[in-house]
Chains A and B, each alone.
Chain A
Amino acid sequence: QKEVEQNSGPLSVPEGAIASLNCTYSDRGSQSFFWYRQYSGKSPELIMSIYSNGDKEDGRFTAQLNKASQYVSLLIRDSQPSDSATYLCAVNGAETSGSRLTFGEGTQLTVNP
C-alpha cells in the first residue's frame, strides 16, 4: 500500500462545475496535510494546508479532512480552464521527522471550456 494515494486521473470537468480531488494516507498519526498545484513544466505551488478535521475554505477552494477515515479532499468550485493542472496531495506523517512530506503521485485535472 502506498503511503499517500490519490484518485486516478485524468479528471475532466466542464467549466463552472465542481472538481473533486481525493487523497488517502496510511499513517494514522499524520498531522499536517497539503494540496499543491503544478502546471505543466512548472514547480509545485502550495494552495491549501489543513491541520484539523473538517473543512477549510479559501476562495473557490475547500479542503476537507477526516482523520478517522484517513482521507483528505480538495474541492474546486466554479472550475476554470486556468485550474487545469496536476494536483498533488502531501502529508506530514507521525513516522517522518521534522517537516518531511510524503507526496501522492498527483491527479491531472482538465477543465473544458
Chain B
Amino acid sequence: DAGITQSPRHKVTETGTPVTLRCHQTENHRYMYWYRQDPGHGLRLIHYSYGVKDTDKGEVSDGYSVSRSKTEDFLLTLESATSSQTSVYFCAISGAYEQYFGPGTRLTVT
C-alpha cells in the first residue's frame, strides 16, 4: 500500500467551527489531492498541490483552503464548517499519472 495516512479518521463538529484535516505521505510524491465523496456526485476534487507551497483549486473549492509547507503533508481546512460539508474526504498522492488514495476521513457537521 502507498504510504498515505489521514487524520482524524472520524470527526463530528458543529456548524461554524473551523476544522483541519491532515494528509501525510511517506512516498515523496510531488502531487497531492483532496477529494470529497458524496452519494450521487462521486469523487470531486477540492484542491490539489503540485509542490511545496504550490496549490490550486479544484471543482468544489468554495469554503475550503489548503496548505503544503512540506512535501509529506497536505492540510485541508474548513474555515467555518457547514452541514453541506458533511462528507467523506479522501487524500490522494501521485508521482506522475496514477493516483493512490488514503483511507479517508468521515466528517459530520451538526
Question: Are A46 and B98 neighbours in the complex by a CB distance under 8 Å?
Answer: yes
In the complex, what's the smallest C-beta–C-beta distance from A81 to chain B, in angstroms? 23
Residue of A nearest to B101 (CB): A43
Q: Could you say which residues of chain B place their CB within 8 Å of the CB of A32? A: 97
Q: Could you say which residues of chain B place their CB within 8 Å of the CB of A49? A: 97-98
Decide if the interface of chain B is mainly helix, strand, loop or mixed: strand
Interface size, B (range): 20 to 34
Q: Provide the bound-state CA to CA distance between A87 and B50, in Å.
A: 27
Task: Decide yes or no whether A103 CB sits under 8 A from chain B.
Answer: yes
Interface size, A (range): 20 to 34
Residues in B lying within 8 Å of A, measured CB to CB: 31, 33, 40-45, 48, 50, 56, 58, 90, 94, 96-104
Residues in A lying within 8 Å of B, measured CB to CB: 32, 34, 36, 42-46, 49, 88, 90, 92, 97-101, 103-106
